[in-house]
Structure formats: C-alpha cells, structure tokens
Amino acid sequence: MMPAVFPRSSGLLLHVASLPGGRLGPAAYRFVDFLEAAGQRWWQVLPLGPPGPGRSPYAALSAFAGDERLVALREGPRLDAPWVHEYATFRALRDLHRKPWPRWPRRARAPAAAVDRYVRRQGAFDEEWRALRRYANERGIGIIGDLPIFVAHDSADVWARRGLFNLDRRGRPRVVTGVPPDYFSRTGQRWGNPHYRWNRRPVLDWWIARLKRAFELFDAVRLDHFLGFLRAWEIPARERTGRRGRWAGGPGARLFTAVRKSLGPLPLIAEDLGLLTPEAARLRDELGLPGMRILQFSFGPNREDRPHYFPRNSVVYTGTHDNDTVRGWLRAGGEDAERARRYAGCRRGDFHWGMIRVAHLSPSDLAIVPVQDLLGLGSEARMNRPGTVRGNWRWRLEGRELTPALARRLRSLTEASDRLPY
C-alpha cells in the first residue's frame, strides 16, 4: 500500500489555525523557513476542513473543502470538482436557515449568489494552499495531512450523500460513533458522527474520491482511528456517553484494495492507538503502513513499551493533539512521567528536550514533535481535552517563539540522530 517515503527523518506538528494570526500568509512561509533551518523534512497538520461548532477540526462541515477563514484571499478561480457545488450549496443553505440540515424546509433553495461566493472562496483556499505546499516542497519539506475516519452529521457530505450513512427517514443518525471507556475517559467518548453503510459500493467510491482529494493537498496522510476500518463502536443515538454500545464491522482490506486499484500506492500513516486488535494490527502490517508510538504511553510498567523497542516502520511522537504537553504531563506527577525523566537522563527543567531527544534517537523512521513540546510549554498550551467541548483548539503561536537559536539546537539534535536531510 505504501512506498518507502519515510526515510529516517523528523518534523513538527502544528495546526494551521495555531499560526500567528490564525491563518496562512507570511506566518506560514516563515514556519516553513524555520523547518528548513532546523533540518526538518515534514510539517504535520491537523484536518484543514471548515470546523463546525466547538472549533474541532475533526468535526468539519466538509470532508473535502478547506477552511476559508485560513486564507486572506476572498475569491479565487472556480473549481470544477463535483464536491465543490455540494459544499457551496450546503453552506449557503446553512447560512440562510441557521440550523442543522434535518430541520431545513423540505424544498430549500440556496441563493445563487451565496453559492457562487462559497465556490470562489474554495478557489481562493486551493490557490493559497497549493502555493504554500509548492514553497515547502521546493525546500525539501513535505506536508502530512490528517484524515478523520468519520464525518460530522451536520456536514455537506451527509446532507448530499444520505444513502451512504445509517440515518432514519428524517435524516437523524440511528447510531453514532465513539469509543468505550479508555485512558482518556472513564465514561468513554460519544463523538456523535453517523456510521457508514459499508456494505454499499458507493461508500467505497466516496472514500476513493476523498483520498484523491487528500493527495491533491498533502504529500502523506495520517488515517485517524485506523481501528475503525476493522470495527467501530456503535452507540445508540439516544445515549449521552460512550458506555453503552457494540462493536460493528468495517470494510477491512476491501476498502484498501479498491483504493490501491484506483489510485495506486499511497503514503499513509495508521493511527493505531488505543485498543488495537490483532486483526487491525495484521491489516496494518499487510498494508505496510507505519503505526504510531507515543512517548507518554511508553513508560508504564511494561518494559517492552520502551522507545528502544519501537519498530523501524513507525512514527514516534512526544504527544499528540489529544495529549497534555510533555511539560504538563511531568508537572501533573505520576510514576510514568518520572520513569520517562529517568530514562531520558534529564533534569525536570529540561524535560521537553529530554523527550525530544528520546524520540529522535528511537529506531522509528519518522519522529514528529508538536511545536508546544519544542517550546517547552505547559498544560495551558494543550490543544484538546477528549470528552470535553469547551476551551479546545484555541492555542496559537505569538510569532516570536521560533528563533534562529531554537532552529540551530533542533538541527544539531536532528543531525546527531541521523535524521538530517541529505
């Protein structure tokens, strides 16, 4: 499934909306310049879709569109893909009725001028994003995108393609997505997305189109919740938590066979965190996809989880958007963080650099560090607290933190760990 596109290398994770000013433009180009100066090969981003209520990039109003608020241009060229008109019509109707689509009038009509405005805004997003990606690629830097497995119920995708999802006659989900109780939440998580009707061929065609669009924007893609392609937690829509549900089957290898036949080999990363079943691990390995290793999950009682045992075909992170920062993790106390500090052989004040060093020196082919950890920030810089809906996705760079001295220090470590581009 995946060619060898991850030679031993490293990169940084930064949500585009976390750039100074919260958008693309000069700040994005300066960040690429910092990556080049620091010897990094990759910029990993969170999903770029227009977020719905709560600002979550994982609950976007479209699985294909970009967030127009990220770009300075108001208009661009008219895009000719089928999803553009669906999205533009959905947004125009949503602006008109100001409520979720199942509550719209049955014969709702969108104002033509409003539809055209959203079409032009998507053209502007595409034009500005492609220019930035080209600038990065010319400097040897690839962009890793993030593809949530599920889509929001109140989205253009579900509104326009209702037959692909498990909905009742009024358009409401019969069951919703989530996970049972786990590390992040004692009551589980109720994400609220509708489930796919995986037994229908149009669902596979929609996924092929979605991945094709993703690779128009990115050089590699992380598949969020890879386990869901084998089985997903179905929660009755009336339930308010993730406690009560059942495991429902997914498409498995059938989807990836169809994708490869249509699009060829693709550089994908499997987000295989959580309760990974043997079947999911086997599918990941059969596809040749690198999985993820998180340092904050690597210092429990089981010594086989330690970083020096990581497989080469993996991506190591100090933490993700769902974790506390490593400094916040240490300050919260706990045996795991103290084991990590002793393993890194560092003082408490230099803990973030100790964790970055551990990640870079690990066997994993690719090492990714969230910018918050590079800067040694505390819990105030955390991106998301799973199971909560307030105060997330708000952290932003001020613009002066990524200094030449910081770039030199990261480049020195990158060279010492044999991750520097040649």
Q: What is the DSSP letter of 320?
A: -
Decide the pairing of beta strands 9-13 and 42-44.
Answer: parallel
Q: Which amino acid is at 269?
A: I
310 to each of 159, 225, 325, 413, how far by Cα in Å?
42, 20, 21, 19
Q: What is the DSSP letter of 292?
A: E
Starting from the edge strand earliest in sequence, which strands make up the sheet with 268-270, in order?
A: 268-270, 220-223, 142-147, 42-44, 9-13, 366-370, 314-317, 291-294
Whether the Cβ atoms of residue 63 and residue 146 lie closer than 8 Å to each other: no
Q: What is the DSSP letter of 416?
A: H
Give me the catalytic one of 126, 224, 234, 272.
224
Helices (H) and strands (E) in the chain, counts: 12, 12
33 is catalytic: no
116 is catalytic: no
Whether the Cβ atoms of residue 164 and residue 196 lie closer than 8 Å to each other: yes
285 is catalytic: no
The four Cα atoms 58, 60, 64, 66 give a dihedral, to 10 degrees, of -100
User: What are phi and psi for residue 220, nearest 5 degrees?
Assistant: -155, 160
Give me the catalytic one of 146, 219, 271, 365.
271
Give me the catalytic one of 127, 239, 322, 336.
322
The angle formed by the CA atoms of residues 416, 421 and 422, to the nearest 5 degrees, is 105
**Residues forming the active site:** 224, 271, 322
